[in-house]
Structure 1
Amino acid sequence: LGAQAHHWRGMSYEAATRPRAARDAYRAARAAWARLPEDSLGTGAPTAEDTADRLAGLG
């Protein structure tokens, strides 16, 4: 849940055109994803891959 919250926070910062804050939020999400076992991810919510894609898109 924490990883998803960081991801959504990053999306909010992107929408507010705050790329530096968005990168920080996505990095926090990525760190949280790394601590989770693979089978703990739910459906319909952001995933580690989604976070990586958004972070890469910010450059």
Structure 2
Amino acid sequence: MPRTSVLDPAKGWIDAMLREDRTAPRKQKHTARRIWQRRAFHHALWRAGLLPSPKPRG
């Protein structure tokens, strides 16, 4: 059985963000630091009850 990752719930929107970055100007692309910041922000909103619970995959 494969191990799960803490990023599993966020993989969908991270992939979408990176797909959009392919056509964005160089200065507007997401860095690893910015992706981490957005992930932390969304996690904080979820913990505060302001975002719905992530749906499990599988």
TM-score range, shorter chain: 0.3 to 0.5
TM-score, structure 1 as length reference? 0.39
Of Structure 1 and Structure 2, the greater helix share is in 1
Give me the TM-score of the superposition, normalised by structure 2.
0.40
